[in-house]
Amino acid sequence: MPTDSLKMVGKVNRFKLFPMRHPGISYKSGPWKNVAHPTYDSYRTGRKNSIKSITTMTSIDFNLHQLEVFCKVVELKSFSKAGKAVYLTQPSVSEKIATLEKMIGAQLLDRLARQVTPTATGDLLYKHATRLLQMKNDVCLEMADFLGVKQGEILLGGSTIPGEYILPQQIGHFAKAYPHVSVRLTISNSGEVCRRISDGALELGVVGYESKHHNLEQYELWQDELILAVPIKHPFAGKKAVSIWQLSEEPFIMRETGSGTLKIMQNYFQEYGAQGKMPGRIVARFGSSTAIKEGVKAGLGISVISLRAINTEVHAGMLKAVRLKEFRMFRHFYLIRDRRRTASPLCQAMLKFFLND
């Protein structure tokens, strides 16, 4: 066998990937140029496809800031609201999402008429993005704690009454002890705060009733009393207490579903056997205590509300607080956190502050 042929045989045998072509025949020209060699050609084509696939996979990239913006859009279902949350203009948010979609090579969000919803690809990315952002936050906080630096931001949620009338003062006291720590307070109803704690969007929350969610740690905090708020010219205004049965014909302003105030009121009425008859006529449902107070002052109806919420108006002679003869409605506020998540050093500091207060 010629020396050149021996070299070729040695070269091909080292690969051991496909059967040996006859060394004396040229497959690039002559009568054999169009003859396919299945094993060799499939190897060559497959290798090209593999390289193309690897190239495509490695082209997917993103950074944590893009993920933060993306997660805010998913959570708030709005580009403009997400922009306010991350301190960007709406066009900047849209540009970052478009760049992220281009880098990933798939549409992540469906832009509907009134809200934005994630696609299947967007749902997958959101699931992993929240974990990455939480890991980043944990690393920053643990490093700060290791270095003895008490600074950073705590995401705190509060239901309407504690969020508007108790927590601002408490946060002020906390700020004196930890001047370099920022607290971002989100106010919503109790049900929504519990949901956001479970989703990992908030670290701590203060709500108006004890949740039945088994993943939530709950600590009893301050006591609160619910009373009847009436306009100053209402027939009830001159009385210290009225019977529960006198409320059946009154126009009533109610809180929305998920409200701690609504839940506690319903529990008391149910225990007394008046759930089916109370209240008699619902004229409106409002999502905040402030809106309810304005509705009562305007004569729209009466309402059950926290005494803390109307103290100022009662002392100013703008509203009257009336109790029920049959019972008084008390409740506690609860500090909650997700027991499945590791508490950050700042979260632990705020827990100790509230529980030792």
**Residue 154: pLDDT above 70?**
yes
Q: In 232-307, where do the E strands start and end?
A: 241-242, 251-255, 281-286, 303-306
Sign of CA dihedral 254, 258, 261, 263: positive
pLDDT above 90 for 112 = no
* H or E stretch covering 111: strand 109-111
Lowest-confidence segment of 11-20, 94-103, 128-137 by average pLDDT: 11-20
What percentage of the chain has pLDDT greater than the value 70?
80
pLDDT at 7: 44
Banded model confidence at residue 201, pLDDT cuts 50, 70, 90: confident
C-beta separation of 75 from 123 below 8 A: no
In 3D space, the residue among 59, 184, 73 whose CA is nearest the CA of residue 130 turns out to be 73
Q: Which single residue is written with the structure tokens 């690897």?
A: 54
As a whole number of angstroms, the distance between CA 199 and CA 76 comes to 13
Q: Is 186 left (phi over 0), alpha (psi -120 to 50) or beta?
A: beta
pLDDT at 283: 92
Q: At what angle do helices 289-297 and 307-315 cross, to 10 degrees?
A: 40
CA 243 to chain centre: 42
- Averaged pLDDT, 133-149: 77
The overall average pLDDT reported for the chain is 82
pLDDT of residue 149: 58
Domain boundaries, given as residue ranges, for the chain: 64-142, 154-357
- Average pLDDT value for residue range 103-125: 90
Check whether 151 has a pLDDT greater than 70. Answer: yes
**pLDDT of 28-73, one tens digit each?**
555 545 544 444 444 444 444 443 444 444 567 788 999 999 999 9
Tell me the CATH class for 64-142: mainly alpha
- Cβ within 8 Å of residue 141, ≥6 positions away: 152, 344, 345, 346
Residue 318 has pLDDT above 50, yes or no: yes
Residue 276: the pLDDT is 52
**Structure confidence at residue 292 as a pLDDT band (50, 70, 90):** very high
Which candidate, 209, 246, 222, 266, places its Cα nearest to that of 326? Answer: 246
Choose the weakest-confidence range: 6-15, 70-79, 151-160, 215-224.
6-15
Coil, helix or strand for 232? coil
CATH: 3.30.1360.30, 3.40.250.10, 2.60.40.1120, 3.40.190.290. Which one for 154-357?
A: 3.40.190.290
First to last CA, the chain: 95
